[in-house]
Chains A and B, each alone.
Chain A
Amino acid sequence: MTAKVLEVEDLVVTIHTASGVLTAIDGVSFELHEGEVLGLVGESGSGKTLTGRAILRLLPSRRMAIQRGAIRLNGEDITKFDETRMRRVRGRSVGMIFQNPTSHLDPVMTVGSQIAESIRFYEGLPRKESLVRAAELLRQVDIPDPAVRLSSFPHEFSGGMRQRVMIAAALACRPKILIADEPTTALDVTVQAQILRLLLGLRERRGLSIILVTHDLGVVAQTCDTVAVMYAGRLLERAPKRNLLRGTLHPYTMGLIASQPGKGKPREELPSIFGQQPSLSDLPEGCRFHPRCDYSEAQCRAAVPPLEEVDVNHQTACRRWRELAKQKILGAA
């Protein structure tokens, strides 16, 4: 196995609200190796974005805080960093791109300046030279006529091109880790595939490690090496992609896989997991998935299931995985 570049351990993120303190991320742990693409999947509201932003210590609201846990970047715990040191992590060690490229680019600044500005700020390069670097970055993200496009504004690009621009801007100061928060959700399918291919190409060329936040298992199947499944702020399963897609050991992941539109069943109605993800202010006891789980028992309600190491690199937070695997409900067929 290659070197561990990022390790998140027992991360807890809380939100202070008028009605009390909610725990949005509850004890999430995972690690990212050099050159790895880790898929972070889960339903809307499961805490994927929050996890990604917590790694950069850029939580979306001042009422949120990292309550506990460690985020180790090359062995150093960045939760202990002050704001100045943290700023040097952002963009230079860890970059981030977002779901909606249109709103995440400044509408009144040329894309060239937006890509070049962190180079100018951190490397003190003059405007001209930083723009040369920006053109080179645009070329690397496959934008035609990069030198000309430097002086275009975001609204003069298509959605897919804007996402490329955002990738170029995020990679300007050569971070080794990229957090991509649903980078293709706002794009149509063909463009989606192009962007994913671009990310994989960049991983090869730059030795980038990527955390790919998505709710689309199709995207996971195309791009990821390993997958972490989140539900209501907790990690339910973590495994290499192949193990997870072929032989999941958690009923929630099984439901997710079954509810993906596949090639084999074109007209059939898609099965879905009944019910809804619980709200943070009203979380069930024990396993958070148990009210929606077809296989839940008394023990599932009684206590929180730990993330259990089943196999090398495969972990599940289901108490009943052994039984269910024996009954051929879970696990490889």
Chain B
Amino acid sequence: MHRFNFVIFRPIQMIPVLFGISLITFILIHSIPGDPIRILLGPRATQEVIAAVHAQYGLDKPIYIQYGYFLLNLTKGDMGRSIVFKMPVLALIGERITATLFLLTYGLVFALALTLPLAIIAAIYRGRFPDHFIRLVSTVGLGFPAFWLGIMMMIVFSVWLGQFPVSGYGRTFVQHLHHLFLPSLTIAIALSAVLVRNLRASLLVEMDSDYVAACRAKGLPERWIFYRHVIRNSLIPTINLLGVNLGWLIGGTVVIETVFSVPGLGSLLVSSIFTRDYMVVMAITMVFACAIVIVNFIVDIVTVALDPRIEL
């Protein structure tokens, strides 16, 4: 199966890309004015104490030496220590990553559960009321920024109706589902608005295609043709669009988690930038970069599996 050879080579090709991302992030974060130790110790700390703590974290060294240490530690599977939380960065990320993963998966499943039926109904009822209605709703969904939608839903469902908690993540699986319902719905609406229109359009193109006419001439019923031919062909462009949007969404968790106070990586990234917790920012940026790379990788595998014509 040489069409799937890229599954082996792509990860190797990605190493220099991730290396570049780490370098750029390192330079960027160190060029923001401000000092994590000063922020941490407060205005009354003496020069000597500050210098001592600097030395403890290696912050007194020139930036290229610091980056060298970062890389050296990375090869040992160590991402340094958080200045603010006073614990290894990896352990901190381990604590926070589940909420983010849960939120993203929940949002994605939700988005697909909305997109597939809505797009199929719109395509089947092309030009009639259900189609117009679904297209109108998805246009409206496109028009609102996700964070605004999130805040509005929080006001209505959590504050007025008291149906959902306004923050946190819960402890059990069911509590997770309950706590993260509104944030994942926010994600799902933002995603579905884009995907429904795209999938509807490609369903319509495929429903009009020649191979559908040939299937009818073979005596196959419409349902059979739709579920065995049309959907699969239509999903190919939509899966690619989903890949692009998931990359965008991984960054978007920063906003969603902040709005809904979800204890995930996104909200941790924001607070760590404010406290100049260098190593945490570095680590989360790398995690997000890897996640985007992995998502694109998965999308490529799915595309190649769906479309035999594609070779990567």
Q: Give me the interface of A with B, judged by CB distance under 8 Å.
A: 56, 58, 60, 87-92, 95-96, 98, 100, 103-109, 117-118, 121-122, 153, 155, 166, 169-170, 172-173
Contact = CB atoms under 8 A, between A and B. Distances in A.
Question: B-side binding surface: helix, strand, loop or mixed?
Answer: helix
Contacts of B233: 106-108
B126 to A, nearest CB: 10
Question: A-side binding surface: helix, strand, loop or mixed?
Answer: loop
B113 to A, nearest CB: 24
Shortest beta-carbon contacts, A-B, top 9? A91-B219, A90-B219, A103-B210, A96-B217, A104-B214, A91-B218, A153-B308, A118-B218, A104-B210
Contact of A106 (B211, B217, B236, B306): B211
B124 to A, nearest CB: 14
Contacts of A106: 211, 215, 229, 233
A166 B214 CA distance: 9
A107 B236 CA distance: 12
B223 to A, nearest CB: 11
B105 interface: no
B220 A104 contact: no
A30 to B, nearest CB: 20
B307 A87 contact: no
A166 B215 CA distance: 10
Interface residues of B, number: 22
Contact of B220 (A103, A107, A118): A118
B219 A88 contact: yes
B228 interface: yes
Contacts, number: 80
Interface of B: 209-211, 213-221, 224, 228-229, 232-233, 236, 306-309
B224 A58 contact: no
A121 B224 contact: yes
B216, B221, B236: residue with the most chain A Cβ atoms closer than 10 Å = B216
B219 A89 contact: yes
Contacts of B308: 107-108, 153, 155
Contact of B217 (A58, A107, A108, A117): A58
A173 B218 CA distance: 8
16 contacts: A58-B213, A87-B219, A90-B216, A91-B217, A98-B213, A103-B209, A104-B211, A104-B214, A107-B211, A108-B233, A108-B236, A118-B219, A121-B219, A155-B308, A155-B309, A170-B217
Given A117-B228, A121-B224, A153-B308, A170 B218 contact: yes
A90 B214 contact: no
A117 to B, nearest CB: 7
Contacts of B224: 117, 121
Contacts of B214: 96, 98, 104-105, 166, 169
A87 B229 contact: no
A239 B233 CA distance: 45
Contacts of A104: 210-211, 213-214
B219, B232, B306: residue with the most chain A Cβ atoms closer than 10 Å = B219
